[in-house]
Amino acid sequence: MSAPLAASVAVGDRSNLSHGASRFRIGIVGCGPRGLYCLQSLSDELRRNRCVRSLSIDIFEPSEFPGAGNVYASCQPHYLKMNFAAKHINAWADLGESGAERLDFVGWLKQRYGTSVDPNGFAPRAVVGEYLHDCYRKVYAELEEFAQVTLHGCRVSRVDRRVRRWVVQTDRLEAEYDELVLTVGHEGWRTPQPSQEQTKVEFIPAFPIRKNLSVESIRPGETVAIRGYGLTWIDVTLALTTERSGAFIVTGDNWRYLPSGCEPRRIIPFSRSGRPMLAKPNESLFPQPAALDAIWERGRDAIDALQLPIHRCDRGSEFWQILTQSAAAAVNHFRDRSFGTSTEVQNWFDDWCRGTMKPATSLAAMRRSFRVATGREVPDVGWAMGAAWRNLYPAIVRQVSYGGLAADQWKTFWHIAAEMERIAFGPPADNVGRMLALIDAGIVDLRFLTSELQIDSSRRAGTCTIGNGIDTVAVDRCVDAVLPSPLQLHSAGPLQGLLEARTIRRLHGSEGIEVDRLGRPVTEKGRVVDVLSIIGRSTEGCVLGNDTLSRTLHDQPQRWAAEVATKIQNRKENE
């Protein structure tokens, strides 16, 4: 048993957790990657300020792998891949004084396993989770030089204000803190609230994937409908094929699937739009020319120069023109004669968004994106739009976050962002190749992409059919591959309780939890709440782009840690 986990067991049964009166007490609720980043930044600040006063840090994380959380748990199957290149993964904001011990993901893999990895490749989430958990253990050891550190392997159900402190409640203990930060991420594996019609259907949640999608839950030869057509759909489909000893091989330019006989007879994805997620390029197969860097830099500078708040982001706005002009300039780099314009880019986007997408159109978009992403075809406008959004995104985050977008523009922005999620932040090209192989093998059936399930009262309770006006298919099992949005809080979690008590509020327009640049939430009356911070996914909209492992896109953990270290130092000087 690891030392941090042993500490958790040692205190886990106490009904009340008390500290010495002179201790400065810090609570971290949720310790996935964002909680890890807060701890790592705090460790740096404590060392920098030589804070050696009496200090205690309590970490509340119910998952087995602190630092990784559920999403990056190292026990999950290795076919579940990142869509964030290995070279970008680094848990450390800076090297600090112990740079030799602070390795990025690529360096850690080489040290741990003695093998090199393609920095442009997409690693298994489980291996990334192993790295994050190892970083957590290092940070834990660093913090023990300054503080009494304890991990509690339990879920926090409620937090309340008590004079100048915050009280944390779990089913095991109650404790008070001088500083409390909530980094609860997805708040555990949950499914979104289904529609009234969907409540009549028995959906199997996608996660935890091995438990929920076993051969006992979904038997070989059954027909499975999957709600959702994004990254989780791919995870579920691989669990129903690769996990069951099906094999993918590369033949020429394409992937081919060799069935094991244990997979479902048919896998049917369905969604509201029918639009797929396009393949994310592997830069080892499709190197990005250095000339593009100047295009992206000009685009970011133009976004940064926009006057705030941004009052328009529709197709006639300066914001949108910057994006489409950047995409046009990028695609022109690969063309000999036909020069694209921002109008051509806009027309492509209009066609992409127009109504629901037909199965044949969706499949063609997937095939083309796969070939472009693997360097087999010349880049097109779809690639250029995705590349422009990815490369201008840091500037978009800087400008739009913290009220940088007018409240009445959020509906338009969310529409753009949802489509760009499909175009820019899709799966690794290899996984798109695998899905194409399953389609070619007749296992994945796209004919019902925008259809709806219908209850079949002639069969057992909870069973249904799906039809497209021409064909109707009986469905044996339904899987929910749609995760709750950041706006859908856990009904029994601490954030929902704070909202109901009007201790915090949502930012008008975006509806994310409103916070300042230190993560301090804002009350219904517009006052900043002190000694409490909320950092990460639940603030989406107030802070843009939280679902990332990037340490460079946001600096809230560093800002929070710097303020806390200053408080500790000031208290020490006043004693």
User: Where would I find the beta strands (DSSP E) of 398-551?
Assistant: 453-455, 464-467, 472-475, 477-480, 532-534
Asked if 3-12+23-68+131-189+486-574 and 198-277+428-480 have one fold, the answer is: yes
The pLDDT value given to residue 23: 86
SS3 content of the chain, % helix, strand, coil (to 5): 35, 15, 45
Closest CA to 44 of 105, 3, 92: 92
Pairing of strands 156-162, 165-170: antiparallel
pTM of the complete model beyond 0.75? yes
Between 3.40.720.10, 3.50.50.60, 3.20.10.10, 1.10.1040.10, what CATH number should domain 198-277+428-480 receive?
3.50.50.60
Handedness of CA 269, 270, 271, 277 (dihedral sign): positive
Q: At 467, is the secondary structure helix, strand, or coil? A: strand
473, 481 contact by CB (below 8 A): no
Across-strand partners of 453?
A: 466
Closest CA to 539 of 491, 492, 485, 483: 485
Sorted by where each begins, the domain ranges of the chain are 3-12+23-68+131-189+486-574, 198-277+428-480, 291-424
- Angstrom distance (rounded) from CA 260 to CA 229: 24
42 CB-near residues (< 8 Å, 6+ apart): 26, 57, 143, 561, 564, 565
What angle do helix axes 429-440 and 231-239 make, rounded to 10 degrees? 60
383 CB-near residues (< 8 Å, 6+ apart): 278, 281, 331, 369, 372, 373
Angle (CA) 258 263 264, round 5° = 125
- Angstrom distance (rounded) from CA 507 to CA 524: 10
Across-strand partners of 515?
A: 521
The pLDDT value given to residue 512: 95
List of the chain residues with pLDDT < 70: 1-21, 51-53, 95-100, 193-199, 336-339, 459-462, 572-573, 575
pLDDT in tens, 472-522: 999 999 999 999 999 999 999 999 999 999 999 999 999 999 999 999 999
Tokens 């000009």 correspond to 298
- The fold of 3-12+23-68+131-189+486-574 is FAD/NAD(P)-binding domain (3.50.50)
Compute the CA torsion angle 347, 348, 350, 355 (nearest 10 deg): 140
The pLDDT value given to residue 288: 87
The pLDDT value given to residue 2: 45
pLDDT in tens, 277-304: 999 998 998 888 999 999 999 999 999 9
- Angstrom distance (rounded) from CA 222 to CA 394: 45
The pLDDT value given to residue 10: 36
- Convert 24-39 to b/e letters by CB count within 10 Å (16 or more is b): bbbbbbbbbbbbbbbb
